[in-house]
């Protein structure tokens, strides 16, 4: 990091590499078109539109970063409308109504009304949004006090209008839930669960607070234009969720109030109907069962409600009405449906699917097979509580026998269709080199929670799945696919060319060799294509062979002694390059014969001198509705590429010449859709160079001029390019020592590697099973593959774990990784067998709860190259592992031992423990197992361990200790007491300098004086930071991250001396054990400050691949991956800062939060440019891009080139 050491200001460029995959909210609706089944998914700061395809795979249509926190989303539809609007409650202090505009391919803000300060505040609305089921009003609520109602209407032009806000505030009232009650077309009513915090009393016996939780109906009087509290009624103090029951003509209306263990139907002027929930057998009776998510399905003649408990069990709730009176509820029934992982939101699609947005891990997509109408499933009814009053309920609770028990079982009513991959929660990550040297490193990440935990090996690259792999008789050098006739949807033949033969395979149920294709088998082939309607052309060194469908064939032969060396063909044109540098061009005429149009020698004057050869030819696809491709690209051995015109009147005229840094190996013309939908596609010439670089230049459609050249390093071998189709349009397969694809998706251009073996040649492939795949050659194998999930730049492979992973250590000698796993509130493996024998499918249905202060924990050794577990040590006696490190020990000749810090009987609120231990493990059995050497007892949590010159540095609670290896235990050698809270992380900078990350008070710089064997704090940070991750950048600087989602770099000023004597003298705490306020004599400075918006869980200073700059890589709890790139030139900093300012003017974020305020949510943003925000520049209309670029004295292409270069420097 060149810039880090310099005295000049450090400036960072922050860019998200992989957006977060955890879900915070989801709603179902028809957003883009009427009847289009879609789900709007909120992922913290990202709003996504997802749509299931015909095969039940859920695809992301568009993902937009909103530069704010989305706290709640809801939909509404105006009466008579056929599409839904989305209301977003965020931290912007504004109500935002979004509409999906299909033409623009994105969300558009219809209304944005400010009502309060920005930020997540307790009295500023945004926490809850509720809409009237008939789309007449929306209520936005805060956690405390404030509620605002907006009336929605249409103006004469049928546009959505919004009224000024109507207040429904009540001070000191705390809101738990908010929902729009279905009242048909009477005045809209909103129901809220509230507690008046001023009316709290204390129970004289238990000292528990006594409060009244009420259900309040707010009525919006449309005639008088104001909101009144219409009705208020007490509910259970544990009530937490409201579900609106369909009303009007569809049902009885009213709400279901969900409390611990119960659901109560309530409505104004209606008796309560109370129904208990079936409970899991293993749930202790004193523990309440909370409902956390719900979904309502309504059809013309029926509706039903699905709710989910915190354990993951889905229940179907039926609200039975009396025969005559449709508004009188006679019974509420709750029936166990199935068990799926616990969700934050459930969406029932009209097409009979259920989208389960899991709070952690992969989200699920299920199809309803039934709705639990069989009588075996455990069910409860409100009728069992005659009258359903409080006393009866309490009595029933007391009668343990009356509780209906359930045992989770495999899915019966739901069919699992798809999983939406999620890395959330990502608890720790390390970039490691797992493969051979030179291969790009993989991000080893600890993901998931409890029984769904995994270790994932995340790699940069699109995931590729094999459809078929077959061996070939030799090593082929090229492959093509051709259709039988132009109108066919799928390819008919795969043609493979060897050194001296050509193999034709037909595509059907199986792929097998055929000889009736009419192509010459006994010669190598240069190109094969479908010509015209149904004829084939085969170009081989000795000629061009044109085969008609009826078997007639014609042939063209080059002049003697000038064989064909290069060729390119499309549906109507063929171009060949002869040895010696002649290019001959053919076009299909009206009679269907291939006619030579013109000859052209690229460099006639210099041919003889240099013997200049054509190194590549490229025609491109015939554009739809045109007779020909207008351009021919000719690469020469003199490191140039020329664009020749193919227009009949200026045929073979040179339109443009581009000098290249190396010889062109191959070229591909692709027309890609960029920018907003509706803009015409742009034509690009991609050139693969012999030095492994791919150049991409834009071709002017009219003049053929090349401009806006971008480069990208692909790998160590010459780059070969192949035209394919990807993402429904043109794409390019670029092969070097790594395989890449270039394609456009949602208006953006992507260049992404494939996570696959290196390939030698490839072509597109379309068949019934795989409408958009690739056929490729790797060595002597022919592979048919499909590229999955375009747009996701990372792929991951999972290794299952037993408990929530916490930390990992890398054993550099063997390359193995040690992972510690621990779960609070869980039962360890041996306890489980006793208590809940026969629990199956833990990953689906969860594990039994152990209760507070009960831990299950394990230490695991993994071989990541083989992706498998080598050994597991289960910790006994309620011990839980909290920290791990690989430590070379001086006393044992520098052998690396694994030190694990554990706690015994720890409780979380408040933190208490019996004791902690330091386990020392030695590798055995060829580094596959760990043997316990000894355990050392410590009195507080050993939360951080680090190697320190052959000794062990341990943070024990708020103290820092140096231990030395002993025969029976670790021996304490030095200690520093009185750090503020708890040592969270330890970084050894040098043999004298240690940096301690405190849990809540940021960094403390510690000097170790060897002579006196003392540790002294000589400097600390000014800001109180709740650290979650840290990494040292150089001797004076550290990058850190806190749990509120900030990343910062802090640096010791040059003049700070770490002379411990000075420090000890100056310290306010001199001679005392504890640090006083602002204890250390010197303070670190903050040089960079940036708000990511998600809790950051790991930080590393790494380079992400060959040719990439060193960056600070971060991962977030929601599974996001991003990087901070230090900017190296003053000029870049100025340009990017100015650009950021302009983009702020032209592209305000979607949800109303100002980008600058968002990035400064906790601390003012400093010395960091928001790369994610700058990429919005590319999606601005051309005119606005031009204005911004003019102000910056640049062209729009230069700016987007700069952004692309920066992104390529990171990854």
Partner 1 sequence: MTSQERFSVHSQLEHLQAKYVGTGHADSTKFEWAVNQHRDSHALYVGFDSLSSFFAVAENEAVGRVKFSSLQKMIQPCGPPPPKEDD
Residues binding partner 1 (CB under 8 A):
22, 24, 44, 69, 71, 91, 120-123, 126-127, 143-145, 171, 174, 176, 195, 197, 200, 202, 207, 209, 211, 240-241, 290-293, 310-311, 342, 344, 359-360, 424-425, 427, 449-450, 804, 823-826, 908, 1043-1045, 1093-1095, 1116-1118
> H or E element: which one contains 610?
helix 604-610
Least Cβ distance, residue 1072 to partner 1 (angstroms): 26
Least Cβ distance, residue 1016 to partner 1 (angstroms): 33
Least Cβ distance, residue 260 to partner 1 (angstroms): 9
Ramachandran angles phi, psi of 102, nearest 5°: -65, -35
CA–CA separation, 1074 and 1080 (whole Å): 11
Least Cβ distance, residue 762 to partner 1 (angstroms): 41
CA–CA separation, 347 and 48 (whole Å): 15
Least Cβ distance, residue 1151 to partner 1 (angstroms): 14
**Cα dist from 2 to 13, 988, 1127, 1136, whole Å:** 15, 21, 10, 19
For partner 1, the closer of residues 54 and 201 by Cβ is 201
- Tell me if 764 sits within 8 A of 724, measured CB to CB: yes
Least Cβ distance, residue 957 to partner 1 (angstroms): 18
- Tell me if 1037 sits within 8 A of 1047, measured CB to CB: no
For partner 1, the closer of residues 339 and 1116 by Cβ is 1116
- Tell me if 641 sits within 8 A of 622, measured CB to CB: no
* Residue 909 CB coordination number (10 Å): 6
DSSP 1046-1061: EEEEEE--TT----HH
- Tell me if 916 sits within 8 A of 939, measured CB to CB: yes
For partner 1, the closer of residues 120 and 651 by Cβ is 120
Q: Which two tokens stand for residue 300?
A: 């013309």
Q: Which two tokens stand for residue 1117?
A: 């709890």
Least Cβ distance, residue 639 to partner 1 (angstroms): 52
For partner 1, the closer of residues 171 and 470 by Cβ is 171
- How far out from the chain centre does Cα 895 lie? 39
Starting at the edge strand found earlier in the chain, the sheet holding 915-924 runs 879-889, 895-904, 915-924, 929-938
For partner 1, the closer of residues 250 and 823 by Cβ is 823
Q: Which two tokens stand for residue 181?
A: 């009650």
CA–CA separation, 444 and 434 (whole Å): 9
For partner 1, the closer of residues 11 and 449 by Cβ is 449
Q: Which two tokens stand for residue 467?
A: 């459809």
For partner 1, the closer of residues 237 and 729 by Cβ is 237
Least Cβ distance, residue 53 to partner 1 (angstroms): 28
- How far out from the chain centre does Cα 993 lie? 37
Least Cβ distance, residue 827 to partner 1 (angstroms): 11
Least Cβ distance, residue 250 to partner 1 (angstroms): 27
Closest CA to 942 of 953, 951, 930, 934: 953
CA–CA separation, 898 and 952 (whole Å): 11
Closest CA to 181 of 122, 112, 250: 250
Least Cβ distance, residue 109 to partner 1 (angstroms): 22
DSSP-based three-state secondary structure for 244: strand
Strands 1014-1020, 1082-1083: pairing is: parallel
For partner 1, the closer of residues 33 and 172 by Cβ is 172
Least Cβ distance, residue 121 to partner 1 (angstroms): 7
Q: Which two tokens stand for residue 316?
A: 């179907």
For partner 1, the closer of residues 581 and 1093 by Cβ is 1093
For partner 1, the closer of residues 124 and 1060 by Cβ is 124
Angle between helices 1182-1191 and 1196-1210 (to 10 degrees): 90
For partner 1, the closer of residues 69 and 538 by Cβ is 69
- Tell me if 99 sits within 8 A of 111, measured CB to CB: no
Query: What are the start-end ranges of the H helices in 782-889?
Result: 829-835, 842-845
For partner 1, the closer of residues 425 and 731 by Cβ is 425
For partner 1, the closer of residues 713 and 1048 by Cβ is 1048
Partners of 456 in the β-ladder: 445, 798
Cis preceding linkage at 1178, omega within 30: no
Ramachandran angles phi, psi of 759, nearest 5°: -110, 155
> Residue 383 has what DSSP assignment?
G
**Cα dist from 387 to 212, 322, 331, 383, 439, whole Å:** 22, 16, 10, 8, 70
Least Cβ distance, residue 909 to partner 1 (angstroms): 8
For partner 1, the closer of residues 264 and 754 by Cβ is 264
Strands 462-471, 748-755: pairing is: parallel
**Cα dist from 494 to 474, 508, 611, whole Å:** 16, 11, 35
Least Cβ distance, residue 1098 to partner 1 (angstroms): 14
CA–CA separation, 1082 and 1060 (whole Å): 12
Least Cβ distance, residue 198 to partner 1 (angstroms): 10
* Residue 608 CB coordination number (10 Å): 10
Strands 241-244, 951-956: pairing is: unpaired
For partner 1, the closer of residues 138 and 291 by Cβ is 291
For partner 1, the closer of residues 23 and 952 by Cβ is 23
Please list, in sequence order, all residues whose beta carbon lies within 8 angstroms of the beta carbon of residue 401, skipping any fewer than 6 positions away: none
Least Cβ distance, residue 526 to partner 1 (angstroms): 57
Query: What are the start-end ranges of the H helices in 745-896?
Result: 829-835, 842-845
Least Cβ distance, residue 82 to partner 1 (angstroms): 32
Least Cβ distance, residue 772 to partner 1 (angstroms): 36
For partner 1, the closer of residues 44 and 747 by Cβ is 44
For partner 1, the closer of residues 497 and 1095 by Cβ is 1095
Closest CA to 31 of 93, 91, 98: 98
């Amino acid at each position: 990091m060149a810039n880090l050491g310099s005295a000049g200001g450090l400036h960072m460029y922050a860019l998200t590499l992989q957006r977060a995959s955890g879900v915070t909210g989801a709603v179902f609706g028809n957003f883009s078109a009427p009847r289009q089944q879609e789900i709007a998914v909120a992922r913290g700061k990202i709003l996504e539109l997802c749509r299931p395809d015909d095969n039940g795979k859920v695809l992301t249509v568009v993902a937009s970063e909103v530069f704010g926190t989305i706290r709640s989303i809801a939909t509404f539809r105006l009466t008579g409308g056929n599409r839904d609007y989305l209301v977003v409650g965020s931290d912007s202090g504004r109500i935002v109504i979004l509409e999906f505009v299909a033409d623009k391919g994105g969300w558009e803000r219809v209304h944005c009304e400010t009502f309060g300060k920005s930020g997540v505040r307790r009295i500023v609305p945004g926490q809850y949004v509720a809409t009237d089921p008939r789309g007449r009003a929306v209520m936005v609520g805060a956690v405390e006090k404030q509620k605002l109602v907006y009336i929605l209407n249409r103006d004469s032009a049928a546009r959505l209008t919004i009224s000024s806000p109507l207040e429904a505030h009540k001070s000191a009232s705390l809101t738990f839930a908010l929902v729009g009650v279905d009242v048909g077309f009477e005045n809209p009513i909103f129901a809220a669960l509230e507690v008046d915090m001023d009316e709290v009393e204390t129970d004289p016996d238990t000292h528990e607070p006594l409060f009244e939780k009420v259900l309040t109906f707010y009525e919006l009087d449309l005639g008088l234009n104001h909101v009144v509290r219409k009705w208020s009624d007490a509910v259970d103090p544990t009530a937490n969720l409201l579900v609106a029951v369909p009303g009007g003509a569809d049902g009885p209306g009213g709400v279901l109030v969900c409390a611990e263990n119960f659901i109560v139907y309530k409505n104004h002027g209606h008796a309560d109907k109370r129904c208990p929930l079936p409970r899991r057998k293993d749930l202790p009776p004193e523990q309440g069962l909370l409902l956390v998510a719900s979904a309502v399905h309504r059809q013309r003649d029926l509706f039903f409600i699905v709710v989910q408990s915190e354990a993951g069990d889905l229940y179907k709730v039926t609200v039975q009405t009396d025969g005559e009176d449709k508004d009188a509820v006679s019974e509420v029934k709750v029936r166990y449906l199935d068990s799926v992982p616990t969700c934050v939101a459930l969406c029932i699609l009209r097409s009979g699917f259920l989208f389960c947005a899991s709070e952690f891990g992969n989200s699920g997509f299920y199809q309803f097979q039934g709705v639990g109408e069989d009588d075996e499933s455990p069910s409860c009814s409100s009728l069992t509580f005659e009258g359903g009053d409080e006393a009866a309920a309490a009595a029933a609770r007391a009668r343990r026998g009356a509780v209906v028990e359930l045992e989770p079982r495999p899915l019966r009513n739901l069919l699992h269709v798809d999983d939406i991959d999620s890395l959330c929660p990502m608890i720790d990550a390390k970039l490691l080199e797992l493969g051979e040297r030179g291969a790009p490193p993989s991000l080893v990440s600890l993901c998931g929670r409890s029984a769904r935990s995994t270790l994932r090996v995340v790699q940069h690259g699109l995931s590729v799945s094999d459809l078929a792999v077959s061996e070939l008789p030799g090593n082929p050098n090229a492959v093509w696919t051709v259709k039988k006739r132009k109108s066919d949807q799928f390819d008919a033949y795969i043609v493979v060319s060897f050194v001296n033969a050509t193999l034709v395979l037909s595509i059907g149920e199986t792929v097998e060799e055929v000889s009736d294709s009419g192509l010459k088998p006994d010669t190598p082939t240069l190109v094969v294509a479908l010509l015209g309607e149904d004829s084939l052309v085969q170009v081989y060194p000795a000629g061009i062979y044109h085969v008609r469908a009826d078997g007639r064939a014609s042939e063209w032969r080059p002049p003697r002694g000038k064989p064909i060396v290069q060729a390119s063909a499309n549906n109507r044109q063929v171009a060949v390059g002869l040895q010696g540098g002649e290019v001959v061009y053919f076009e299909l005429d009206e009679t269907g014969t291939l006619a030579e149009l013109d000859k052209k020698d690229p460099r006639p004057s210099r041919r003889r001198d240099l013997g200049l050869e054509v190194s590549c030819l490229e025609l491109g696809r015939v554009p739809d509705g045109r007779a020909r491709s207008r351009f021919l690209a000719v690469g020469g051995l003199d490191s140039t590429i020329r664009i020749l015109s193919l227009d009949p009147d200026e045929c073979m005229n040179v339109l443009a010449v581009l000098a290249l840094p190396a010889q062109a190996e191959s070229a591909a013309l692709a027309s890609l859709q960029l920018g907003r939908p509706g803009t015409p596609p742009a034509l690009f010439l991609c050139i693969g160079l012999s030095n492994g670089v791919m150049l991409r230049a834009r071709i002017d459609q009219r003049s053929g001029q090349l401009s806006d050249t971008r480069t990208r390093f692909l790998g160590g071998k010459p780059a070969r390019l192949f035209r394919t189709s990807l993402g429904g349009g043109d794409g390019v397969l670029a092969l070097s020592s790594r395989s890449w694809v270039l394609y456009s998706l949602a208006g953006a251009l992507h260049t992404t590697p494939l996570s696959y073996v290196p390939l030698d040649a490839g072509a597109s492939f379309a068949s019934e099973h795989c409408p958009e795949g690739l056929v490729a050659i790797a060595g002597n194998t022919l592979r048919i593959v499909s590229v999955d999930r375009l747009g996701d730049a990372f792929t991951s492979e999972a290794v299952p774990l037993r408990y929530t992973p916490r930390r990992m250590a890398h054993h550099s000698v063997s390359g193995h990784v040690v992972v510690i796993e621990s779960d609070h509130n869980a039962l360890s493996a041996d306890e489980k067998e006793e208590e809940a024998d026969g629990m199956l499918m833990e990953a689906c249905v969860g594990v039994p709860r152990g209760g507070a202060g009960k831990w299950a924990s394990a230490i695991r050794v993994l071989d990541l190259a083989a992706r498998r577990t080598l050994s597991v040590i289960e910790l006994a006696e309620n011990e839980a592992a909290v920290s791990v490190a690989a430590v070379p020990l001086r006393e044992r000749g520098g052998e690396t031992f694994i030190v694990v810090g554990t706690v015994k009987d720890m409780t979380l609120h408040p933190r208490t423990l019996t004791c902690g231990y330091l386990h020392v493990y030695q590798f055995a059995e060829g580094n596959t197992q760990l043997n316990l050497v000894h355990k050392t007892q410590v009195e507080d949590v050993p939360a951080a361990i680090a190697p320190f010159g052959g000794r062990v540095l341990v943070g024990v609670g708020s103290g820092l200790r140096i231990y030395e290896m002993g025969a029976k235990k670790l021996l304490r050698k030095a200690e520093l007491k009185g750090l503020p809270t708890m040592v969270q992380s330890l970084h050894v900078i040098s043999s004298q300098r240690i940096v301690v990350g405190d849990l809540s008070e940021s960094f403390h710089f510690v000097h170790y004086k060897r002579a006196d064997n003392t540790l002294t704090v000589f400097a600390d940070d000014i800001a109180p930071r709740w650290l979650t991750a840290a990494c040292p950048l150089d001797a004076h600087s550290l990058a850190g991250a806190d749990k509120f989602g900030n990343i910062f770099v802090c640096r010791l000023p040059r003049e700070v001396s770490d002379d411990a004597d000075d420090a000890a003298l100056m310290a306010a705490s001199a001679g005392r054990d504890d640090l006083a306020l602002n204890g250390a004599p010197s303070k670190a400075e903050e040089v960079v400050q940036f708000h990511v918006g998600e809790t950051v869980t790991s930080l590393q200073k790494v380079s992400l691949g060959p040719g990439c700059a060193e960056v600070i890589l971060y991962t977030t709890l929601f599974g996001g991956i991003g990087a901070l790139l230090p900017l190296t030139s003053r000029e870049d900093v100025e340009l990017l800062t100015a650009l950021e300012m302009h983009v702020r003017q032209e592209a305000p974020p979607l949800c109303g939060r100002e980008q600058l305020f968002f990035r400064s949510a906790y601390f003012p943003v400093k010395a960091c440019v928001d790369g994610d925000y700058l990429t919005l520049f590319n999606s601005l209309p051309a005119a606005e891009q031009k204005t911004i670029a003019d102000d910056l004295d640049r062209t729009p292409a230069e700016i987007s080139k700069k952004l692309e270069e920066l992104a390529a420097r990171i990854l």
